[in-house]
Every structure is written in structure tokens, then in C-alpha cells.
A and B are shown apart, each in its own frame.
Chain A
Amino acid sequence: MEDLTKIAKECASGDVRAQEKLYRTLAPKMYGVCLRFSKDNTEAEDNLQDGFVKVFTNIHKFRHEGSLEGWVRRIMVNVSLSKFRKQHLMHPVEDMAVHDSQQVSEDVLDKISANELLELIQNLPPRYRMVFNLFVMEGMSHQEIGAAMNITEGTSKSNLARARDILKRKVKQLYGELDKNENYSA
């Protein structure tokens, strides 16, 4: 693999071939990121496209201080975030009811494929999906999430808890049987 820094410099000078090289190198991973933040492939492709247009128009501003991949990934997350903000202007009434927290063993989760986990995330309500992704995958704090999504820290926390709950319930629903059977056979 060619040095990304060199490619980035060539991209900044408008070299189309370098742009394609950068795209081919980073697109699969970034598509993965976009897929997690989207409800389906269409939305993910959209975000990927807008994200890369932003990358190429702003690449001359990249200071080569951190990793290029990290920078591109931040752009993808930001595009997903700004799109979420535009599409979900209404603040839903928070469901403050206490949910009986579900218990799912890690063993069950281990057996589920990445594709299936992705689908679970994509099926979460948009707000929960955003918070779950930002907290779990991007490692952002609730404070940062609150600022990015224009919600309070508390809302972020409760959204995360709710997201986890939904995921666990879904896992139980879909894979609970499998789990039991395996237990019996063990």
C-alpha cells in the first residue's frame, strides 16, 4: 500500500488518479462506518458519497498531524450526524419508563455474525442508533454526544440504555432458542 500521506498530497493538488486510489483504499472501511450509522444501504451510500466529496474538497486543509484514516472517519461521522440533525428536527417525547433490563449472555452474542449485528443496529430507532454508535463505536462521552446531537447528557444516557435494551431483547427473540438448544446439548 502506498503511503497515504503522499496520496493525500496528490489529492490536494487535484490529481484524479490519486483521489481514486484514496477512495479504493478507504471506502470499504468507511462504508462500514456509514452502514452502522444508517438505517439501510441507500442512506449509507449517500453518506459515503457526501463524505468523500467533502474529503476531496477539504483535503488541502488536512494537516498531516493525525492519521488520514481517522480524519476521513471523522468526516463520515460528521456527515451522518449532520444528516441526522437535519432529518430529525423534532425531539421525540422521551420514554422515561423503567425498562426491565434484559440479560443476554456474551456467548450468544459471540455466535452472531457481524452482518447480523449490523442489521440489529440499523433497525434501531434513529436516535438510539446514533447514540449507541457514538458511544460504543466512536468512544465519545455522553457530554460530547449531547453537544453533537443537541440533547442533554441525561437524554444521551437514557437513549443508550434504551438502545442496549432493544438490542438485547432482539437478540433474545432471534437467537434465544439457539442459545437454549446449545445449553441443552452441552
Chain B
Amino acid sequence: MRPLTPRRVLGICLLLLAVLFAAVVLSLRMGAYPMAVRDIVTTLVNGALGRRERIPSEFWLVVFGLRLPRIALGILVGAALSTSGAGFQALLRNPLADPYVLGVSSGAALGAILSLIVAPLAPGLIQVAAFVGAAATITGVYFLGRRGGHLDSGTLLLAGIISASFLSAVIMFLMTTLSGRDLRGMAFWLMGDLSSTPAVDLRWLYLLLLVGAGSIYTTASDLNLILSGEQEARHLGVNVGRVKIVVYVAASLLTGLAVSLSGAIGYVGLLTPHVMRMLFGTDYRLLIPTSAIGGAIIIVLADLLARTVVAPTELPVGAMTAIAGAPVFIYLMRRSMR
């Protein structure tokens, strides 16, 4: 393994950003509405120059109203999920750890359902409620997972799994009291889907992504040491307790953010860090940025498939990631057993 130089980190990130750019271009090009590359470029250029009257209104709607916001949302969600996945995996020193294993998605879904029961027509409330649900679950799991005053990986994982199944049962119970219309929306929501535009300005959400991912990144060197053993890390002067809390809170923020925007999109948070580890090594200083970009690439491509495979009908993107993710997961598992 070559030593990690800043130059190498920059190079790899630029490479991945180029791949992401290609995925975005492809995603802009494809869809139920047929548009030539030339038309897309003209629309983008005129849009950037504010010359809207020069573009046919359908081009405008498709590019700026539908495809770009959806791509931007996909990048945000993919980056948030993968970064928090990488964070949770280091924190729990468990390769199976992922935002959803800790019950966060169930908590978010429960919050959403409660908001549907209390105030079904309040705009944007469902997202806020999902975020609150995710945060509350994470807090609960955190206190359940403490043993002897500090976070214990095994206990935390168990607490997460138990909470997830408990919350899922509560959701099933509540869903039987909802009317049919709400149920339909809910089922789709639980699968994970990018077709709804967030009520909050995306710029604020990207800012939250930066804060969350940035906080995890500041602990990257410490995470490397913790991964080789908590005792050793302590002896080397790492404040293990503080690092754990920072990563836990930041990763939870990112998960809550993603779930409240798109529902529970599985496998991305679990698999992206694994793939990035295989490609670029286990150093967290590289793993965190590559996971963020890699997750964005995967979601953009998965959503492209979700929009086009059975067009004009759309699949939930969560179905796409699960179909592609489960075989990849089995492959990785068998490979690592050898």
C-alpha cells in the first residue's frame, strides 16, 4: 500500500468527481422525455445566462424543474448516507453497521406516520417529523447502547436492531389505523424515493451535509487509530469518548437528513464504504471523501435506472439499490471470507 499523500487524496477525489460528472450528464440526458444532447446543452447555457425566453418551456421544465433538482437531491442523499455509513462502521468497528441497522430509518418513518395522523395536510411537516423521529431514535439507542458509562459496540448494535424491530411493529400497528390514501404514500416512502422535492431550500440541506461530513472528517486520523484498537488509541493520546460522540452525532444528523428527504434507501450506506475500501484502502482520511462522492455516484445512477427501466412508470430508487446492492453485498462477503 502506497503512503497516503495529500496529492493522492486530491487525485482520487478529482477522478471520482469526474465519474460523478459523467453520471450527472448521463442522467440529464436520459428520461421519459426525449431530449437531444444539443438541446440539453442549449437549455443549460441559456438557463445559466438567465435567458429563459429562448428555450421551449417543456425543455425548461424537464431540465430545471425535474432532472436537475432530482440529481441534486440524489447527490445529497447518496453522499449523506455513505458518509454516515462509513462513520458508523468505524464507530462500531463492525462491517455490517449501517444507518438503518441502528433503527434510524424506522424512527424516521414513525415520525412521518405520526405527522400524517396528526396533521396530514401541513406542508413540509412530514420531513421535519421524520428528522425528529430519526434524532429521537438515535438518542434512545445511544443511551440503551451505553454500558458502564461508555459506548459499547456490541450493545449499541443490539440496541439498534431491537429498536428497529420494535419501531417497525409500532409502524405496522399505526398503519392499520390510517386510511388507504395515506397508506399508499407511506409504503412508497418506506421504500425510498427521490420523486418529491424537499420543502426546504436545497442549499441549506447541502450546508447540513457539509457540517455533518466535515465533522466526521475532522476525526479521520483518530478513527484510523481507533480501528486498530481502542486501548492503543487511548495510549496514543486519542480522546476516544469525544471522537465517538462527534461521529455518532454527525452520522445521525446525516442519516436523519437523508431519510427525511427520500425515505429509507437501503444498501448505499452499507456498501459504498466497503467498495471504496476495496478500491482505495482503509485510511479514513481518504475513505470519507471517497465514500461521499461514491455514494452520490451510486444514487444518481440508481435513480437513472429507476426512472428509465420501466418508463414511463417509475420505480422507487430504494428498490433499485436493493436489487443491485444485495448481490454485491454477497460477493463482498464471500470475497472477504477467503
- A complexed with B: no
